[in-house]
Amino acid sequence: MIVPMLKLTLLCRAADRASALAALRDLGVLHVTPSVAPSGANLDAARAKADLLKRVLEAIPSKTPEGAQQTATDPEKLAADLQALIDTRKTASDRIEALRAETARIAPFGTFDPASIPALAEKGITLKLYRAPLKATPDLPEGVCAEQLGVQKTDGYWALFASSDFTWTGAEEIRLPEHSLSEMEQTISTLTAQLADAEKRFAAAAADRPALEKLLAEAESAVKFEEVASGMGDAGVVNYVTGFIPARDLPRVETAAAENGWGLLSAEPGPEDDVPVLLKQPRWARPIQAVFDGINILPGYKEADVSVVFMLFFSLFFAMIIGDAGYGLIFLALTLLFAKKMPANARNLLLVTSSATIVWGLITGSVFGISQTWLADHGFARLWPAFLNPLKERAAQNIMGMCFLIGAIQITIGHVWNIIDLVKQKSTKALEQLGWVCTTWYMFFMADNMVIGGNMAKYIGSPAALKPFTGSPLDYVCLTGIVLIALFMMKPSEIKDGWFNLALLPLNIINNFTDVVSYVRLYAVGAAGFAVANAFNTMIFGGEVTLLSGLLGALFAFLAHTLNILLCVMGVLVHGIRLNTLEFSNHKGISWSGAPYRPFARPRETAVQG
């Protein structure tokens, strides 16, 4: 469920502003919405400190080298020292880059001392450096002496001398360097040593990472504090802060208000309010939050929490798209191996989806793409239900029909859910949703008839009542559904402004058919994964196997199946998530426009669980 929220305004004396915010932060329940744009010197300073600490932590290795020990240095001083070291490193790196570019520019002229050139000028001798093409070297100016100092590819590099100023037309003059090659190379060597020393100091500071991370958390908390403080409304002697709290937490805030002398104003959020979303999911469905967090989506506050449906169908989609019990076993083993390093929701989700994949792969005869005939000969056929037996003639049509059935069921869940909500509101639009249920099942039988020759209907005897486009009762059910949609999709008073929705109804009916058919992607992607795995196995192990070919084959099989697993995972990310967030969500009316509930709290309290 989506936790109900209240809009809250808290008032305090301007003189008590800091203490009120500190107490409010200790409560950790108010999602603050600024009354004015946060700004000010204190906020700028807090942000600058947090940015400095982020740069310092980015420069420090994430792993502590062996033997490194935490220093006794104060974290604040250590951070300042490391920031200075970062600046020094950047300056040295920029200087090295510039010097290398300069040496590359001057190297064709060879080694000489630029410090001697001013002495020549004092004696009235002008020296200039030029680059000129070898095949068409231009004539020298009159009274000018030249010395070729080097050749590089198609160009010659020259030093020209004269007793007066001159220009060598047709050649490119090269600016004189400030330092000799040897001096620049020595400087590069010195700066490189400085960089190496800096890296050693950064590595040594890795042992202090926990202290610096704690300091960063405090700095980010200070930034949030200053953002809230500078975003408060100012009414002279009274300041106020606004935001949203879970309705269940209002008594705690009222108690704190009585203790601290605050004024409170709470109300139900209005339609114009951008209310944050806090989900309270059943424990078994909570792992799906890993997907919500991973792709950064949440239902809107006025929408429904579809976590339960998402969890059930995503697990099934994952299993059907990966489709291979061997791959599922790999996922399960890796999840158990790295369980302690994974967030709880992600770990639990992978445990469920991996197990579902193993079950699906076993009952459909897909284990590392091994020939299903071989599997049958070795006892796996006992696990295959007749409906899904891969050696049966209608196995592919059965799974495609199952995909259409899954789509119709999930879409129907969305519309039935809407019917229940609308009946509670006593809205006649519930009849429109009933119309969509009718058309959805008509589309299921139409997809069954058009795509797989009525395969699913054959299991119930292919009754004439379920044949579309024949004047059957099924056609009348669809017609009834269309009439219900057209009559009750909007109130008569809304037709003037929303008439285009009626004009688009035929397209929406067609789209309902494409939504049901689109679930066949579950079969298509899963079948493609099996085909790729089986093809690799045939190519690698199709001939006579020797010790050498067996070892090479094992290596190639590992690489091939790794690639196939990655492709299957991409299929889950694209198709498994899409069917929930697009096809199903469009029918349920979920826009995924919600913003997460982020309470103003101390760092240890910012992770909110419904």
Confidence (pLDDT) at 543: 61
In sequence order, the 6+-apart residues with CB closer than 8 A to the CB of 177 are: 102, 105, 106, 114, 184
pLDDT in tens, 566-583: 999 999 989 999 999 999
- The pLDDT of residue 579: 94
Band (pLDDT 50/70/90 cuts) for residue 608 is very low
Give the chain's end-to-end CA distance (angstroms, integer): 9
What pLDDT does 72 receive? 64
> What pLDDT does 545 receive?
61
Q: Which pLDDT belongs to residue 68? A: 65
Mean pLDDT of 34-39: 91
276-277 and 595-596 strand pairing: parallel
Residue 94 has pLDDT above 90, yes or no: yes
Digit-coded pLDDT (tens) for 455-476: 999 999 999 999 999 999 999 9
Contact yes or no for 227/610 (Cβ under 8 A): no
Domain extent listing, the chain: 112-179, 304-590
pTM above 0.75, yes or no: yes
407: which 2 tokens?
């789509």
Cβ atoms < 10 Å from Cβ of 431: 17
What is the Cα–Cα distance from 375 to 367, expressed in whole angstroms?
8
133: confidence class by pLDDT, cuts 50, 70, 90: very high
Predicted pLDDT at 542: 66
Tokens of 598: 């982020």
What single letter denotes the amino acid at residue 490? M
Has residue 606 got a pLDDT over 60? no
Q: Is the pLDDT of residue 609 over 60?
A: no
**% of the chain with per-residue pLDDT over 70:** 96
pLDDT category of residue 607 using cuts at 50, 70 and 90: very low
pLDDT on residue 241:
94
Residue 513 has pLDDT above 60, yes or no: yes
Indicate the helix (H) or strand (E) that contains 160: strand 155-162
Residue 119's alpha-carbon distances to 123, 160, 592, in angstroms, are 7, 16, 76
Torsion of the alpha carbons at 428, 430, 436 and 437, rounded to the nearest 10: -140
Q: Tell me the angle at which helices 41-59 and 209-230 cross, rounded to the nearest 10 degrees.
A: 160
Range 176-205 burial, b when 16+ CB lie within 10 A, else e: ebebbbeebeeebeebeebeeebeeebebb
Q: 3-class DSSP state for residue 68? A: coil
Q: What is the pLDDT of residues 249-270, one digit of tens each?
A: 999 999 999 999 999 999 999 9
* pLDDT for position 495: 76
Residue-averaged pLDDT of the chain: 90
Q: Name the residue type at position 271.
A: P
Residue 529 and residue 368 in contact, taking contact as beta carbons nearer than 8 Å: no
Residue 550 pLDDT more than 90?
no
Instruction: Give the pLDDT of residue 67.
Output: 64
Tens-place pLDDT, residues 401-456:
999 999 999 999 999 999 999 999 999 999 999 999 999 999 999 999 999 999 99
Residues 6+ apart with CB under 8 A from 282: 307, 308
pLDDT in tens, 284-310: 999 999 999 999 999 999 999 999 999
